[in-house]
Amino acid sequence: EPEVTQTPSHQVTQMGQEVILRCVPISNHLYFYWYRQILGQKVEFLVSFYNNEISEKSEIFDDQFSVERPDGSNFTLKIRSTKLEDSAMYFCASSLGGPGQGFNEQFFGPGTRLTVL
Amino acid sequence: AQTVTQSQPEMSVQEAETVTLSCTYDTSENNYYLFWYKQPPSRQMILVIRQEAYKQQNATENRFSVNFQKAAKSFSLKISDSQLGDTAMYFCAFMKLGNTPLVFGKGTRLSVIA
């Protein structure tokens, strides 16, 4: 059964460094998401991406964050200059359809644990 | 804005017994979706069950069923005949119509004990 995959499973970085988290969505899916979960807190939406552009973003997704689909398979989240408070589990998800297209289940990856020191 | 609250951080249940996980939410929307996701240890979140708010009938999927009380904004998950493989974190989630982002609760860690 197709799955969303994410690499790396764990990333440790120094404060101020750039990190890129990678996701491979399910191959025929068109709509992509990033969520994060700070330890002990709720899973929070960051951004959604459809038709090669950001569809929606939360207030968390500031100028330090960017997303890209550099090729036909990868979907990346870049944090330009990491802060201690960026330490969290980051989840990628994908769904078959986009907004206004009826219900489409979001399939989640296993997450990348980001630790900022 | 929508909020989802899960008031039980941890629960445990004996194998073969029944357990109910609680979830309440707040929204001004009339039509929406509610979900329960399961995240086993070190594995991805998978959808367990979905409820459309416009449907009065409670959703069921094999051993999993929900008690959806729209007026009370309550959405509990009942797991019958609990199995060791049900051990996981369970997240309640809300979604407005139109494939909008999910709004999650904090999760309930369920342990099934042999």
Residue B111, pLDDT > 80, answer yes
Residue A112, pLDDT > 80, answer yes
Exposure pattern of A7-16 as b/e (b: 16+ CB <10 Å)? eeeebebeee
The average confidence (pLDDT) of chain B is: 94
Fill in the DSSP letter of residue A92.
E
Closest chain A residue to the Cα of B100, Cα to Cα: A99
Residue B56, pLDDT > 80, answer yes
pLDDT in tens, B23-52: 999 999 999 999 999 998 877 889 999 999
Question: Which residues in chain B touch residue A102, judged by CB atoms under 8 angstroms apart?
Answer: 99
Q: What per-residue confidence (pLDDT) applies to B5? A: 96
Question: Which residues in chain A touch residue B103, judged by CB atoms under 8 angstroms apart?
Answer: 45
Q: Is A50 on the interface with B (CB under 8 A)?
A: no
Pick A48's closest partner by Cβ from B91, B101, B105: B101
Q: Parallel, antiparallel, or unpaired for β A112-116 and A10-13?
A: parallel
d(CA B113, CA A104): 34
Q: Do B45 and A108 touch (CB under 8 A)?
A: yes
Q: Do A110 and B44 touch (CB under 8 A)?
A: yes
pLDDT in tens, A29-83: 999 999 999 988 889 999 999 989 999 999 999 999 999 998 878 999 999 999 9
Residue A101 identity (one-letter amino acid)? Q
Residue A99, pLDDT > 70, answer no
Fill in the DSSP letter of residue B102.
P
Q: Look up residue B73 and give its two tokens.
A: 């904004």
Q: What per-residue confidence (pLDDT) applies to A100? A: 65
Q: Is A90 on the interface with B (CB under 8 A)?
A: no
d(CA B37, CA B44): 10
φ, ψ (nearest 5 deg) of residue A16: 95, -15
Q: Do B104 and A42 touch (CB under 8 A)?
A: yes
d(CA A87, CA B50): 31
- With CA atoms as reference, report the closest residue to B99 among A60, A28, A104, A108: A104
Q: Do B102 and A100 touch (CB under 8 A)?
A: no
- With CA atoms as reference, report the closest residue to B107 among B3, B2, B1, B7: B7
More confident: A25 or A41 = A25
Question: Which residues in chain A touch residue B46, judged by CB atoms under 8 angstroms apart?
Answer: 108
Q: Look up residue B114 and give its two tokens.
A: 């042999």
Interface probe with A: pick from B43, B44, B47, most Cβ of A within 10 Å: B44
Q: What per-residue confidence (pLDDT) applies to A79? A: 97
Q: Do A100 and B99 touch (CB under 8 A)?
A: yes
- Which pLDDT band holds residue A101 (cuts at 50, 70, 90)? low
d(CA B102, CA B7): 19
CB A69 within 8 A of CB A49: yes
Question: Which residues in chain B touch residue A91, judged by CB atoms under 8 angstroms apart?
Answer: 44-45
